[in-house]
Amino acid sequence: MHRRLPSIDALRGLVMVIMALDHTREFFHAGAMSFSPEDLSKTTPILFFTRWITHFCAPVFVFTAGLGAWFWKRGERTTAQHTRYLLLRGLWLMLAEVTLFRFVAFFFAPGPVLLTVLWAIGLSMIVLAGLIHLPLRWVAGISVAAIALHNLADGVRLTGAWQMLHQLGAFPVAGLIVVSVYPLVPWFAVMAAGYCCGPVVQQRERLERWGWALTAGFVLLRLANVYGDPAPWDGSLLSFFRVTKYPPSLAFLLMTLGPALVLLSRLERSRLEPLAVFGRAPLFYFLVHFLLLHLLTFPLGWLRYGRIDFLWAPAPSMGGAAASYPSGYGYELPAVYAIWAFVVVAMYPLCRWYAHRRA
Protein backbone atom coordinates (compact mmCIF):
# COMPACT_ATOMS: atom_id res chain seq x y z
CA MET A 1 0.00 0.00 0.00
CA HIS A 2 1.36 3.43 -0.91
CA ARG A 3 2.01 6.00 1.80
CA ARG A 4 -0.46 8.87 1.86
CA LEU A 5 0.82 12.43 2.12
CA PRO A 6 -1.22 14.52 4.60
CA SER A 7 -0.58 17.67 2.56
CA ILE A 8 -2.24 16.19 -0.54
CA ASP A 9 -5.21 14.96 1.49
CA ALA A 10 -5.52 18.37 3.18
CA LEU A 11 -5.45 20.25 -0.15
CA ARG A 12 -8.04 17.90 -1.62
CA GLY A 13 -10.14 18.22 1.53
CA LEU A 14 -10.04 22.01 1.36
CA VAL A 15 -11.35 22.13 -2.20
CA MET A 16 -14.01 19.56 -1.29
CA VAL A 17 -15.30 21.92 1.40
CA ILE A 18 -15.29 24.76 -1.14
CA MET A 19 -16.95 22.53 -3.74
CA ALA A 20 -19.93 22.02 -1.44
CA LEU A 21 -20.52 25.79 -1.51
CA ASP A 22 -20.98 25.76 -5.28
CA HIS A 23 -23.34 22.80 -5.18
CA THR A 24 -25.33 24.39 -2.34
CA ARG A 25 -25.66 27.50 -4.48
CA GLU A 26 -26.93 25.43 -7.40
CA PHE A 27 -29.59 23.74 -5.28
CA PHE A 28 -30.73 26.72 -3.20
CA HIS A 29 -29.71 30.17 -4.45
CA ALA A 30 -32.56 32.13 -6.00
CA GLY A 31 -30.29 33.84 -8.50
CA ALA A 32 -28.83 30.53 -9.65
CA MET A 33 -32.25 29.63 -11.06
CA SER A 34 -32.26 32.48 -13.56
CA PHE A 35 -28.72 33.65 -14.40
CA SER A 36 -25.07 32.71 -14.21
CA PRO A 37 -23.08 34.21 -11.32
CA GLU A 38 -20.47 35.12 -13.94
CA ASP A 39 -22.94 37.19 -15.97
CA LEU A 40 -21.37 40.59 -15.35
CA SER A 41 -24.58 42.38 -16.29
CA LYS A 42 -26.51 40.74 -13.43
CA THR A 43 -24.12 39.44 -10.80
CA THR A 44 -22.75 41.12 -7.68
CA PRO A 45 -19.12 41.00 -6.50
CA ILE A 46 -19.92 38.67 -3.59
CA LEU A 47 -21.93 36.32 -5.81
CA PHE A 48 -19.23 36.39 -8.47
CA PHE A 49 -16.50 35.45 -6.02
CA THR A 50 -18.75 32.85 -4.36
CA ARG A 51 -18.64 31.10 -7.71
CA TRP A 52 -15.04 32.07 -8.54
CA ILE A 53 -13.47 30.47 -5.47
CA THR A 54 -15.01 27.13 -6.43
CA HIS A 55 -13.11 27.15 -9.74
CA PHE A 56 -10.15 25.73 -7.84
CA CYS A 57 -11.99 22.47 -7.13
CA ALA A 58 -11.95 20.59 -10.44
CA PRO A 59 -8.30 21.35 -11.33
CA VAL A 60 -7.14 20.28 -7.86
CA PHE A 61 -9.25 17.13 -8.01
CA VAL A 62 -7.81 16.11 -11.37
CA PHE A 63 -4.24 17.16 -10.56
CA THR A 64 -4.19 15.28 -7.23
CA ALA A 65 -5.68 12.23 -8.96
CA GLY A 66 -2.54 12.29 -11.10
CA LEU A 67 -0.39 12.57 -7.97
CA GLY A 68 -2.28 9.64 -6.50
CA ALA A 69 -1.60 7.61 -9.63
CA TRP A 70 2.13 8.28 -9.20
CA PHE A 71 2.20 7.23 -5.56
CA TRP A 72 0.06 4.15 -6.20
CA LYS A 73 2.78 2.62 -8.37
CA ARG A 74 5.45 2.95 -5.67
CA GLY A 75 6.60 -0.29 -4.12
CA GLU A 76 6.68 -3.61 -5.92
CA ARG A 77 3.84 -2.99 -8.37
CA THR A 78 4.60 -3.63 -12.01
CA THR A 79 3.70 -1.42 -14.96
CA ALA A 80 1.09 -3.99 -15.97
CA GLN A 81 -0.52 -3.79 -12.52
CA HIS A 82 -0.43 -0.01 -12.67
CA THR A 83 -2.06 0.00 -16.11
CA ARG A 84 -4.79 -2.36 -14.94
CA TYR A 85 -5.47 -0.23 -11.86
CA LEU A 86 -5.86 2.95 -13.91
CA LEU A 87 -8.09 1.28 -16.49
CA LEU A 88 -10.41 -0.30 -13.92
CA ARG A 89 -10.50 2.79 -11.72
CA GLY A 90 -11.24 4.96 -14.73
CA LEU A 91 -14.06 2.73 -15.94
CA TRP A 92 -15.54 2.61 -12.44
CA LEU A 93 -15.60 6.41 -12.15
CA MET A 94 -17.22 6.78 -15.58
CA LEU A 95 -19.87 4.24 -14.57
CA ALA A 96 -20.40 6.04 -11.25
CA GLU A 97 -21.00 9.29 -13.17
CA VAL A 98 -23.94 7.95 -15.17
CA THR A 99 -25.45 5.85 -12.35
CA LEU A 100 -24.64 6.89 -8.77
CA PHE A 101 -24.13 10.58 -9.46
CA ARG A 102 -27.18 10.74 -11.72
CA PHE A 103 -29.25 9.31 -8.89
CA VAL A 104 -28.00 11.53 -6.04
CA ALA A 105 -28.20 14.69 -8.16
CA PHE A 106 -31.44 14.09 -10.07
CA PHE A 107 -33.11 10.96 -8.61
CA PHE A 108 -33.09 9.67 -12.21
CA ALA A 109 -35.52 12.41 -13.24
CA PRO A 110 -36.04 12.65 -17.00
CA GLY A 111 -33.52 14.95 -18.53
CA PRO A 112 -30.08 15.04 -20.12
CA VAL A 113 -27.20 12.80 -19.03
CA LEU A 114 -24.42 15.05 -17.77
CA LEU A 115 -20.80 13.99 -18.15
CA THR A 116 -19.05 15.99 -15.44
CA VAL A 117 -15.98 15.71 -13.26
CA LEU A 118 -16.19 11.98 -12.43
CA TRP A 119 -16.41 11.20 -16.14
CA ALA A 120 -13.45 13.48 -16.86
CA ILE A 121 -11.30 11.91 -14.14
CA GLY A 122 -12.22 8.39 -15.25
CA LEU A 123 -11.55 9.03 -18.92
CA SER A 124 -8.29 10.82 -18.08
CA MET A 125 -7.18 7.79 -16.04
CA ILE A 126 -7.74 5.60 -19.07
CA VAL A 127 -5.56 7.92 -21.17
CA LEU A 128 -2.96 7.98 -18.39
CA ALA A 129 -2.92 4.17 -18.41
CA GLY A 130 -1.38 4.48 -21.88
CA LEU A 131 0.87 7.45 -21.12
CA ILE A 132 2.64 5.74 -18.20
CA HIS A 133 4.37 3.46 -20.71
CA LEU A 134 6.27 6.49 -22.05
CA PRO A 135 9.33 8.08 -20.43
CA LEU A 136 8.30 10.57 -17.75
CA ARG A 137 9.83 13.52 -19.62
CA TRP A 138 7.67 12.67 -22.64
CA VAL A 139 4.54 12.59 -20.49
CA ALA A 140 5.53 15.97 -19.04
CA GLY A 141 6.05 17.40 -22.51
CA ILE A 142 2.69 16.12 -23.75
CA SER A 143 0.83 17.51 -20.73
CA VAL A 144 2.48 20.94 -20.91
CA ALA A 145 1.90 21.19 -24.66
CA ALA A 146 -1.78 20.21 -24.35
CA ILE A 147 -2.40 22.71 -21.55
CA ALA A 148 -0.54 25.55 -23.25
CA LEU A 149 -1.69 25.07 -26.84
CA HIS A 150 -5.21 23.65 -26.73
CA ASN A 151 -6.80 27.12 -26.98
CA LEU A 152 -5.50 27.26 -30.54
CA ALA A 153 -8.32 24.81 -31.33
CA ASP A 154 -11.08 26.97 -29.82
CA GLY A 155 -12.38 27.83 -33.28
CA VAL A 156 -12.76 24.19 -34.30
CA ARG A 157 -16.40 23.13 -33.90
CA LEU A 158 -16.99 19.44 -33.30
CA THR A 159 -20.22 17.51 -33.72
CA GLY A 160 -21.74 14.46 -32.09
CA ALA A 161 -19.72 12.47 -29.58
CA TRP A 162 -16.54 14.14 -30.85
CA GLN A 163 -17.53 17.09 -28.68
CA MET A 164 -16.25 15.10 -25.70
CA LEU A 165 -12.72 15.81 -26.94
CA HIS A 166 -12.61 19.59 -26.60
CA GLN A 167 -16.00 21.24 -26.41
CA LEU A 168 -18.96 21.89 -24.17
CA GLY A 169 -21.91 20.48 -26.10
CA ALA A 170 -24.80 18.05 -26.36
CA PHE A 171 -25.50 15.09 -28.62
CA PRO A 172 -28.07 12.24 -28.76
CA VAL A 173 -27.29 8.68 -27.67
CA ALA A 174 -29.96 5.97 -27.73
CA GLY A 175 -32.78 8.49 -27.42
CA LEU A 176 -31.11 10.43 -24.59
CA ILE A 177 -29.39 13.80 -24.73
CA VAL A 178 -25.83 13.57 -23.44
CA VAL A 179 -24.13 16.81 -22.37
CA SER A 180 -20.34 16.83 -22.39
CA VAL A 181 -19.44 19.28 -19.62
CA TYR A 182 -15.82 18.28 -18.96
CA PRO A 183 -14.17 17.40 -22.30
CA LEU A 184 -11.07 15.23 -22.39
CA VAL A 185 -8.71 18.00 -23.54
CA PRO A 186 -7.09 19.45 -21.53
CA TRP A 187 -8.27 17.56 -18.42
CA PHE A 188 -6.19 14.48 -19.25
CA ALA A 189 -3.15 16.79 -19.42
CA VAL A 190 -3.89 18.20 -15.95
CA MET A 191 -3.92 14.66 -14.57
CA ALA A 192 -0.73 13.80 -16.45
CA ALA A 193 0.89 16.94 -15.05
CA GLY A 194 -0.02 15.81 -11.54
CA TYR A 195 1.47 12.41 -12.28
CA CYS A 196 4.72 14.04 -13.44
CA CYS A 197 4.88 16.16 -10.26
CA GLY A 198 4.87 13.04 -8.10
CA PRO A 199 8.68 12.78 -7.85
CA VAL A 200 9.04 16.40 -6.66
CA VAL A 201 5.86 16.97 -4.65
CA GLN A 202 7.76 16.83 -1.35
CA GLN A 203 10.35 19.38 -2.51
CA ARG A 204 8.52 22.29 -0.96
CA GLU A 205 10.70 25.13 -2.21
CA ARG A 206 10.59 23.95 -5.82
CA LEU A 207 6.85 23.35 -5.65
CA GLU A 208 6.27 26.84 -4.28
CA ARG A 209 8.43 28.45 -6.98
CA TRP A 210 6.46 26.61 -9.66
CA GLY A 211 3.21 27.78 -8.09
CA TRP A 212 4.24 31.43 -8.06
CA ALA A 213 5.51 31.14 -11.64
CA LEU A 214 2.16 29.78 -12.83
CA THR A 215 0.29 32.50 -10.94
CA ALA A 216 2.49 35.20 -12.46
CA GLY A 217 1.91 33.59 -15.87
CA PHE A 218 -1.84 33.99 -15.39
CA VAL A 219 -1.51 37.68 -14.55
CA LEU A 220 0.77 38.37 -17.54
CA LEU A 221 -1.46 36.37 -19.88
CA ARG A 222 -4.57 38.32 -18.87
CA LEU A 223 -2.76 41.63 -19.10
CA ALA A 224 -1.53 40.77 -22.59
CA ASN A 225 -5.13 39.86 -23.51
CA VAL A 226 -4.23 38.19 -26.82
CA TYR A 227 -4.27 34.46 -26.06
CA GLY A 228 -5.18 31.93 -23.42
CA ASP A 229 -8.93 32.41 -22.99
CA PRO A 230 -11.93 32.83 -25.33
CA ALA A 231 -13.33 35.55 -23.03
CA PRO A 232 -11.09 38.64 -23.35
CA TRP A 233 -10.52 40.99 -20.42
CA ASP A 234 -12.54 44.21 -20.74
CA GLY A 235 -10.57 46.19 -18.15
CA SER A 236 -12.79 45.53 -15.11
CA LEU A 237 -11.71 43.53 -12.06
CA LEU A 238 -14.45 40.91 -12.39
CA SER A 239 -13.72 40.45 -16.08
CA PHE A 240 -10.03 39.88 -15.28
CA PHE A 241 -10.97 36.82 -13.21
CA ARG A 242 -13.84 35.65 -15.46
CA VAL A 243 -11.99 32.95 -17.35
CA THR A 244 -13.41 29.97 -19.21
CA LYS A 245 -13.93 26.63 -17.45
CA TYR A 246 -15.73 24.62 -20.15
CA PRO A 247 -13.24 23.52 -21.40
CA PRO A 248 -10.69 25.01 -18.99
CA SER A 249 -8.59 27.60 -20.77
CA LEU A 250 -4.88 28.09 -20.28
CA ALA A 251 -5.68 31.17 -18.18
CA PHE A 252 -8.14 29.17 -16.05
CA LEU A 253 -5.58 26.47 -15.32
CA LEU A 254 -2.78 28.93 -14.54
CA MET A 255 -5.13 30.87 -12.24
CA THR A 256 -6.12 27.77 -10.27
CA LEU A 257 -3.13 25.42 -10.35
CA GLY A 258 -0.59 28.14 -9.50
CA PRO A 259 -2.07 29.05 -6.09
CA ALA A 260 -2.87 25.36 -5.50
CA LEU A 261 0.81 24.43 -5.80
CA VAL A 262 1.79 27.26 -3.46
CA LEU A 263 -0.80 26.08 -0.95
CA LEU A 264 0.31 22.46 -1.31
CA SER A 265 3.88 23.45 -0.42
CA ARG A 266 2.62 25.28 2.68
CA LEU A 267 0.26 22.51 3.80
CA GLU A 268 3.24 20.16 4.01
CA ARG A 269 4.24 22.18 7.07
CA SER A 270 0.81 22.60 8.69
CA ARG A 271 -0.93 19.28 7.97
CA LEU A 272 -4.48 20.22 8.86
CA GLU A 273 -6.06 16.96 10.00
CA PRO A 274 -9.76 17.97 9.72
CA LEU A 275 -9.25 18.80 6.04
CA ALA A 276 -7.28 15.59 5.52
CA VAL A 277 -10.28 13.64 6.84
CA PHE A 278 -12.34 14.94 3.91
CA GLY A 279 -9.44 14.39 1.51
CA ARG A 280 -9.15 10.72 2.38
CA ALA A 281 -12.73 10.05 1.25
CA PRO A 282 -13.17 12.08 -1.96
CA LEU A 283 -15.66 9.95 -3.89
CA PHE A 284 -17.70 9.18 -0.77
CA TYR A 285 -17.87 12.89 0.10
CA PHE A 286 -18.72 13.87 -3.47
CA LEU A 287 -21.69 11.52 -3.74
CA VAL A 288 -23.03 11.77 -0.18
CA HIS A 289 -22.88 15.57 0.09
CA PHE A 290 -24.80 15.83 -3.19
CA LEU A 291 -27.42 13.42 -1.83
CA LEU A 292 -27.66 15.36 1.42
CA LEU A 293 -28.13 18.66 -0.42
CA HIS A 294 -30.80 17.12 -2.63
CA LEU A 295 -32.65 15.67 0.35
CA LEU A 296 -32.55 19.02 2.18
CA THR A 297 -34.53 20.65 -0.61
CA PHE A 298 -37.62 18.70 0.49
CA PRO A 299 -38.07 19.85 4.13
CA LEU A 300 -36.99 23.39 3.22
CA GLY A 301 -39.32 23.41 0.25
CA TRP A 302 -42.22 22.22 2.41
CA LEU A 303 -41.55 24.87 5.07
CA ARG A 304 -41.47 27.67 2.50
CA TYR A 305 -43.96 26.60 -0.16
CA GLY A 306 -46.16 24.03 1.56
CA ARG A 307 -45.54 21.48 -1.21
CA ILE A 308 -42.67 19.47 -2.63
CA ASP A 309 -44.02 17.93 -5.83
CA PHE A 310 -41.96 20.25 -8.03
CA LEU A 311 -38.72 19.12 -6.37
CA TRP A 312 -38.78 15.78 -8.16
CA ALA A 313 -37.78 17.64 -11.33
CA PRO A 314 -34.24 19.04 -11.72
CA ALA A 315 -33.82 22.62 -10.53
CA PRO A 316 -33.58 25.29 -13.25
CA SER A 317 -29.95 25.85 -12.20
CA MET A 318 -29.23 22.22 -13.07
CA GLY A 319 -30.96 22.09 -16.43
CA GLY A 320 -34.57 21.77 -15.30
CA ALA A 321 -37.53 23.75 -16.63
CA ALA A 322 -38.12 27.00 -14.73
CA ALA A 323 -41.88 26.70 -15.36
CA SER A 324 -42.06 23.59 -13.14
CA TYR A 325 -40.77 25.52 -10.09
CA PRO A 326 -42.51 28.30 -8.12
CA SER A 327 -41.75 31.79 -9.32
CA GLY A 328 -38.73 33.19 -7.50
CA TYR A 329 -37.78 29.80 -6.05
CA GLY A 330 -34.68 29.81 -3.88
CA TYR A 331 -33.02 31.67 -1.05
CA GLU A 332 -30.62 34.58 -0.64
CA LEU A 333 -26.87 34.11 -0.20
CA PRO A 334 -26.82 34.20 3.65
CA ALA A 335 -29.18 31.21 3.72
CA VAL A 336 -27.02 29.44 1.11
CA TYR A 337 -23.92 29.92 3.27
CA ALA A 338 -25.77 28.63 6.34
CA ILE A 339 -26.92 25.48 4.51
CA TRP A 340 -23.38 24.98 3.20
CA ALA A 341 -21.93 25.17 6.73
CA PHE A 342 -24.50 22.65 7.97
CA VAL A 343 -23.68 20.19 5.20
CA VAL A 344 -19.91 20.44 5.73
CA VAL A 345 -20.27 19.89 9.49
CA ALA A 346 -22.61 16.95 8.90
CA MET A 347 -20.18 15.37 6.41
CA TYR A 348 -17.20 15.41 8.79
CA PRO A 349 -18.18 12.45 11.05
CA LEU A 350 -19.43 10.53 8.02
CA CYS A 351 -16.11 10.97 6.19
CA ARG A 352 -14.13 10.14 9.32
CA TRP A 353 -16.08 6.91 9.76
CA TYR A 354 -15.69 6.02 6.08
CA ALA A 355 -11.95 6.80 6.00
CA HIS A 356 -11.37 4.51 9.01
CA ARG A 357 -13.42 1.75 7.42
CA ARG A 358 -11.54 2.14 4.15
CA ALA A 359 -8.14 2.12 5.89
Give the pLDDT confidence score for residue 249 in this predicted structure: 98
Cα(117)–Cα(54) distance, rounded to whole angstroms?
13
On the question of pLDDT at 112 being above 90, the answer is no
Question: What percentage of the chain reaches a pLDDT higher than 90?
Answer: 87
Sorting pLDDT into bands at 50, 70 and 90, what band is 1? Answer: very low
Give the model's confidence band at 164: pLDDT under 50 very low, under 70 low, under 90 confident, else very high. Answer: very high
Q: 176 - beta bridge partners?
A: 173
User: How much is the average pLDDT of 341-359?
Assistant: 93
Is the CB of residue 124 less than 8 Å from the CB of residue 65? yes
Write the pLDDT tens digit of every residue in 203-253: 989 999 999 999 999 999 999 999 999 999 999 999 999 999 999 999 999
* Domain boundaries along the sequence of the chain: 6-358
Average pLDDT over residues 37-64: 97
More confident residue, 346 or 111: 346
Task: Give the pLDDT of residue 80.
Answer: 95
pLDDT digits (tens, 9 = 90+) for 182-207: 999 999 999 999 999 999 998 989 99
User: What pTM was computed for the model?
Assistant: 0.95
Cβ count within 10 A of residue 227: 14
Question: What are the start-end ranges of the E strands in 65-168?
Answer: 113-115
Nearest to 191 by CA among 62, 74, 28: 62
